[in-house]
Amino acid sequence: MSSGLPLACPPRSEWYEEPEKKKWGEKVSEAVLSLYRSLPKKGKPQGQETTVVAAFLLSSPTQGLEVVALGTGTKCIGGSLLSPTGDVVNDSHAEIIARRSLLRYFYAEIERLDRIHQTSRDDVGFADASNSAFGLDTSCCGQTKYRMNPGWGLHLYITQPPCGVFSYPTLQPRELAVQADLSAKIGGSVGGAESNGCQNGKSQIKEIDHSSSDYPQISTIVQRKPGRGDTTFSMSCFNKITRWNVVGVQGALLFHILQPRSFHVVGSPILYMVGTSQLLIVFNFSSSKKVDKQTETLRRWWRGEEANCGAAESRTRGGAVGPIPSSTKGVVFFFLVLLVLVAVISRRWMDDSTFSVISSWREQAPRLRSHHPQPRPVTLTCPNHTTTPMHCCGRTITPSPSSSPSAPATSGTEPPPSCPDYFRWIHEDLRPWNSTGITRKMVESARQFAAFRLLVIGGRVYVDQYHRVFQTRDLFTLWGFVQLANRYPGRLPDLDLMFNCEDMPTVMADGYDTSHPPPPLFRYCKDDSTVDIVFPDWSFWGWPEINVKPWEVLREEMKEANERMEWEKRKPYAFWKGNPTVSGHRKDLMRCNSSGGHDWNARVYAQDWVKEIENGFKDSNLAEQCIYRYKILVEGRAWSVSSKYILACDSPALFVTTHFHDFMTRGLMPGRHYWPIREDNQCRSIKFAVDWGNKHQEKVQAMGKEGSSFILEEVKMEFVYQYMLHLLTEYAKLLRYEPTLPENATELCLESVACGEEGRVREFLMAAMVKWTSDSEPCTLPPPYSAGELEQLRSRKADAIKQVEEWEQEAWEEEH
């Protein structure tokens, strides 16, 4: 071995630290994808488009993670588009983009540290470099270089295996013979220091005759990758990653001031099988019967058993490669040796060994690619009231032991299914700001309507409370935001929004257009004349003032109630119970009770909440009201919270004409999920519905099942949280500014919301609390409606209602 460029200094076993794969991989994945999702929508794939994400991360001795470089991309230009002047970026695959960003980070960090050391030498103030991943080292070969400090690690995350995995061809003697010709045609040795095609500042790229008989064999010398139009001779990402991990990711120029740095790959099946570049050399050669001395030396080198500061030289078939004085040539030379070693493996070994590896990889790939996060427990510990303030949000979600029997089973390996169809209305609710985005001024203009301002910054939730609202609507709504953050830790993007907790929608559509967009305001409902952004109401987490339990609890009770009594055995009437004083339509409904010898088939009751509270809510158990064949829904001042409880009984729901929509009722279709009732003649309409249903029991039972299935399955809390996540994510993409904390904002967490509450409020908060983080990806948000689809949807609803009204009118005319 001749002296020259150091290949590895210090030994690889000292500067390559492989963390615990499984848990560490999850942390890395969450950190990268959380950052990616927080980026603006512009430039990201939309609709059916896809991309690859790659990122480099640094891990500190305390196991903290920081994403220092991130890139996306799947394209590289074809060989026909290569520029002789080097002014075109050839390779824009995600791994390459991320590595370019990483080098910028290296330069910036070394420049910063150099300034710090210069400041210290000049005794001008004090600068701290203790939190840097790099430090000066003078112990290697008499050279002063920066190195990565002990305990720090570098990691590469990729969302799919890099291109070129397992695709090395087997070279035939004739194919090897054209290697020299290829080298001449592309201006240098294959994969060598001059393979960029430039020498002495002049282009050395010569046109290759694609029609030549030698051309097909040329492709087997250098691993090709797909281009936009034709194939390219750019080295595959797998090969590049291999090279980076052999000679260091820092490259030849930085090598003069930075020691070689390897990295740990996360996100590809390669990691879980044998670990990055070992797959190319060690793993493949381990099953070959022709392992020679050079191969064994390389294997020991990968294990850190042999490392020195010398340069390498070797002979390859077809010619000798002598000592290389250039540091750049020396770095690339070692990688060339590796490529030649792989190329000369026998075809028999490739057939017997490589294909078995591919088969093994295919079996493991779905599991490894999915990156399903493991569920982690969410716990609440309230501090001592006398010693610790209630607003303490230092709690962290700790990983759950894998052996915990109470942990929910992790989801399968299938990709996330599409969300329920009503999720498509998210796009419609945000449409007023699609072309303009949302500015800070727009958000603050909604303050006049808002009860509170909610912000998410760095995954933490904050609130600026403007005023309290009726009962505990705001408290339980804020509790819902906290549960969402705990269910999907790190998934909430930075955002800033205003929230109104009243009944009636506020922001009218009239008076606003693209040149003057409306103020974005979140609330529980809207109608066709308003543009409020609809969000799940507080009752999903409980309504303690009237003893309505959290939806997750009540949903199970309603399912059990449906099973206790068959539909045929239920009372053959339509039932409603509630507060009739809040709207004229409810007062009209009270006239439909049986009176004067005339029975409208309705049993309606006024709810006296004062007496009910005194009676301990004994007569207001919603699960015990599924004893009638039909349930009536009639709106109050605005939408009715009761819609989910009425639909949950698998008795057909009779909807008196509705004018308001919450986030999920827009997914209901009259004639399928419910029976429409005329608001201008409720009693007659209810009587016809009950009479018709009792005569067509099979059809109305099917309608009842459709309604209950929709609310019990498509609006279970899992989907409620996913709706919230998708809505907030899409909203955040529209923000045209970085949210900052208002002066009076306080942090929201389990402790700050729940620990100061007592009685039924505290009981319901605890019952609605998320116990585990999600172990699966949220459902896939379906695309927005087209104008034609929206028109078709409205027509279908109108036609279904018209059909029922015609049946009703015909029946009335026959009787009279």
Place of tokens 């030289």: 313
Instruction: Give the C-alpha separation, 589 to 587, whole Å.
Output: 5
Instruction: Give the C-alpha separation, 658 to 648, whole Å.
Output: 18
End-to-end CA distance of the chain: 110
Which of 44-48, 58-62, 128-132, 346-350 reaches the highest mean pLDDT?
58-62
Give the pLDDT score at 2: 38
Q: In 308-356, at which residue ranges do the beta strands (DSSP E only) sit?
A: 315-316, 319-320
CB atoms within 10 A of CB 515: 7
pLDDT at 411 over 80: no
Write down the H helix ranges in 547-662: 551-564, 584-590, 609-614, 643-648
The amino acid sitting at 714 is: E
Instruction: Give the C-alpha separation, 655 to 643, whole Å.
Output: 9
Close Cβ partners of 173 (under 8 Å, ≥ 6 residues apart): none
Token pair for 517: 């967009």
pLDDT at 749 over 80: yes
Which CATH number among 3.40.50, 3.40.1000, 1.20.120, 3.30.310 corresponds to the domain 544-661+665-714+794-815?
A: 3.40.50
Instruction: Report phi then psi at 169, rounded to 5.
Output: -80, 160
Instruction: Report phi then psi at 746, rounded to 5.
Output: -125, 155
Q: Quick one: how far is CA 3 from the chain centroid? A: 51
The predicted model gives 95-118 an average pLDDT of 86
Give the pLDDT score at 713: 96
> Is 95 known to be catalytic?
yes
Give the pLDDT score at 79: 62
Token pair for 122: 């000049």
Token pair for 748: 């929201």
pLDDT at 690 over 50: yes
Q: In 126-252, at which residue ranges do the beta strands (DSSP E only) sit?
A: 134-140, 143-148, 153-158, 198-199, 202-203
Q: How confident is the model at residue 147 (pLDDT cuts 50, 70, 90)?
A: confident
The three-state secondary structure class of 443 is helix
Structure-model confidence comparison of residues 799 and 278, the more confident one: 799
Give the pLDDT score at 597: 75
User: Is this model's pTM higher than 0.75 or not?
Assistant: no
Instruction: Give the C-alpha separation, 559 to 565, whole Å.
Output: 11
Q: How confident is the model at residue 334 (pLDDT cuts 50, 70, 90)?
A: very low
Average pLDDT taken over every residue of the chain: 75
Lowest mean pLDDT among 34-38, 533-537, 775-779: 34-38
Lowest mean pLDDT among 333-347, 437-451, 672-686: 333-347
CB atoms within 10 A of CB 679: 18
Bridge partners for 93 per DSSP: 74
Give the pLDDT score at 259: 81
Q: Which of 30, 95, 556, 730 is catalytic?
A: 95
pLDDT at 176 over 60: no
Whole-number Cα distances in Å, 126 to 111, 119, 123, 203, 802: 17, 7, 8, 49, 80
Structure-model confidence comparison of residues 129 and 62, the more confident one: 62
Burial 698-718 (b: 16+ CB within 10 A, else e): eebbebbbbbbebbbebbebb
Instruction: Give the C-alpha separation, 158 to 369, whole Å.
Output: 10
pLDDT at 247 over 70: yes
Domain residue extents for the chain: 12-168+223-367, 421-537+719-784, 544-661+665-714+794-815
Instruction: Report phi then psi at 28, rounded to 5.
Output: -60, -45
CB atoms within 10 A of CB 338: 20
pLDDT at 424 over 80: yes
pLDDT at 816 over 80: no
Give the pLDDT score at 611: 85
Helix orientation angle between 717-734 and 551-564, rounded to the nearest 10 degrees: 140
Q: How confident is the model at residue 405 (pLDDT cuts 50, 70, 90)?
A: very low
Give the pLDDT score at 363: 36
Q: In 410-544, at which residue ranges do the beta strands (DSSP E only) sit?
A: 452-457, 460-465, 495-499, 522-523, 533-534
| Closest among 153, 196, 187, 140 to 61, alpha carbons compared | 153
Lowest mean pLDDT among 51-65, 253-267, 404-418, 708-722: 404-418
The amino acid sitting at 11 is: P
Give the pLDDT score at 75: 77
Close Cβ partners of 255 (under 8 Å, ≥ 6 residues apart): 5, 247, 248, 327, 331
